[in-house]
Amino acid sequence: MRPLDILIVDDDHDLADAIGEALEMAGHSPTIAHSGTEAIEKYCGRSFDMTFMDVKLPDINGVETFLTIREMDPSARVIMMTGYRIDQLLAQATDNGAIKVLHKPFAMEEMITAIEEVRPSGLVLVADDDPDFAESAEQLLADQGYSVLIARNGAEAVEKVISSNPDVLLLDLRMPVMHGLDVYLELKKRNCLLPTIILTAYPREEGNAVEALKSLSITGCLFKPFAPEALLQAIGQIERVREFEP
């Protein structure tokens, strides 16, 4: 398991230290903040793979802190912690993307299990003939815990979907050998469709292809250049939908 940079936000110094020690023993790198303001300050200079956030903090409550962090980092993965029944606050947090709630007191093993349950997983196929984009996407996704395959042309994309069964396909429209729309139609013909995010730097020129793919229930479309957070959000949305599938 890749070590994670994890932020712990709790005004209970003993509990925060205990969580930090447990995370270190599990191979992760913890950083501790004892207030909402301190957590936001620590987030200003960096991003974390995951945050454990207490709901009741001495200055800004944990939900407000979480919402501020989400504004800075839309892909932030936050687990709320509470020893109280604050249903309305927790509902606000989960509605805005908090991924889990741990109720105090909890066993440290439960916390480690929570990390395993919510961290990104799965195989992403990036089908794009632009080597710079493919390399940057591969690094971004690998840093978030995903496994990544690269296809440099449309035919290779079809072959890798069939042979490797990825969980998500990032599909550029303008590729050699086969256009992205033809790739998608070929996968449909072979009953190999999977959640697919279309990538294009030519929204006007490729408008007909984009509309055709939308009519085929494509998962999403990103227009280059886009922020890395937009890509992570699009893939994260696929993961959240799967959590609710029977």
CA-based nearest residue to 184, from 233, 151, 217:
217
Looking from the CA of 30 toward its CB, the CA atoms found within 13 Å total 21
Architecture of the domain defined by 123-243: 3-Layer(aba) Sandwich (3.40)
Q: What is the chain's alpha carbon radius of gyration, rounded to the nearest angstrom? A: 20
Query: Mean pLDDT in the chain?
Result: 80
5-118 matches 123-243 in fold: yes
Taking the C-alpha atoms of residue 107 and residue 176, their distance in angstroms, rounded to an integer, is 53
pTM: 0.53
Which amino acid appears at position 72 of this protein? M
Instruction: Say whether 99 sits in a helix, a strand or coil.
Output: coil
Taking the C-alpha atoms of residue 23 and residue 4, their distance in angstroms, rounded to an integer, is 9
Looking from the CA of 14 toward its CB, the CA atoms found within 13 Å total 1
Q: What separation in angstroms does the CA of 78 have from each of 68, 160, 237?
A: 12, 33, 15
Query: Is 82 exposed, middle or buried, given 0-12, 13-18 or 19+ CB atoms closer than 10 A?
Result: buried
pLDDT digits (tens, 9 = 90+) for 29-70: 999 999 999 999 998 878 788 899 888 898 988 889 988 998
pLDDT digits (tens, 9 = 90+) for 143-153: 777 889 999 99
CATH 3.40.710.10 fits 5-118, yes or no: no
With 50 as the cut, is the pLDDT of residue 18 above it? yes
Average pLDDT of the segment spanning 223-240: 74
Planar angle of CA 218, 221, 222, nearest 5 degrees: 160
Q: What is the signed CA dihedral for 210, 147, 141, 239, rounded to 10 degrees?
A: 60
Domain boundaries, the chain: 5-118, 123-243
Taking the C-alpha atoms of residue 221 and residue 227, their distance in angstroms, rounded to an integer, is 13
